[in-house]
Amino acid sequence: MPLVSTQDRDAVRVITYANAPFGTMTAAGAAEMFDAVAAAGMAPSVRVIVITGGLPGIFIRHYDVGELSEAADAIERGAPRAPPSPGPRPPGFHALTDAIAAVDKPVIAAINGLCMGGGFELSLACDLRIAGSSVAAIGLPETRIGIFPGGGGTQRLPRIVGEAKALEMILCGLTVTGLRAHEIGIVHEVVADPLARSLEIGAELSGRGAEGLAFAKRLIRSALDRPLAEGLADERKSFSTVMRTASAREGLRAGRTPVEIQKL
């Protein structure tokens, strides 16, 4: 049975992960979700991607501990690598999170429940995170079992909440509620229905110029990884490129008349 399903809501594609009964991420699930994200990224009709969980009260619980334990045992035994199977190797969890961060369309995590370990790391790769007000646990508890977040958590969380808070959460294996996650800046909004709100945001973003959003995402994603002068040069060059697109020219013409200002 597939672990991932997709549904288009106008220009928003909803990717739903459901690994019953526990909602853990697995190698097979990561490969399926990678394919779904890649397909959404290539589809011209899709302007925004929303990722959510398909089980009640679960976004993605964590990466499957059984698979991690087997990998640890194989490393300890010094087991030889299995011979490569015919065809390309299925993309793993790291490829999935990198794809989410790199796709040139906005990606929103609609966190509808437990969001732990690998599930939280996946949400950190998304551009926006909308959590349900009833979400009981979001966090990276890996140090409690002798490991540490290896799916991007040690790198992406400090960029979102700062070094001090990331150290506290990861070293102590802390989890927080959806409300607390909003207070410390992990999630952008806390609402009763995170999927409905994510679709609302997606509909709004899908009405904006795709090129402008894509360039903005790429520039912001790379801002902390290079010198300021290099980023500014890229921004200025990219701005000139976007100004020549049809969507920008149309938006600028429309912007000659007063528009409603959306406040935070």
What positions carry a catalytic annotation?
Answer: 121, 142
- How many whole angstroms separate alpha carbon 31 and alpha carbon 51? 15
Q: What is the DSSP string of 81-134?
A: PPPPPSSPPPP-HHHHHHHHHHSSS-EEEEE-SEEETHHHHHHHHSSEEEEETT
- How many whole angstroms separate alpha carbon 196 and alpha carbon 199? 5
Quote the Cα angle for 34-175-159, to 5°. 60
Q: In b/e form, how buried is each residue of 45-65, taking b as 16+ CB within 10 angstroms?
A: ebbbbbbbbbbeebbbbbbbe
Q: Which residues contact 80 (CB under 8 A, 6 or more apart)?
A: none
55 DSSP 8-state letter? B
Amino acid at 11: A
Give residue 102's Cα distance to chain centre: 10
Q: What is the DSSP string of 176-214?
A: E-HHHHHHTTSSSEEES-HHHHHHHHHHHHHTS-HHHHH
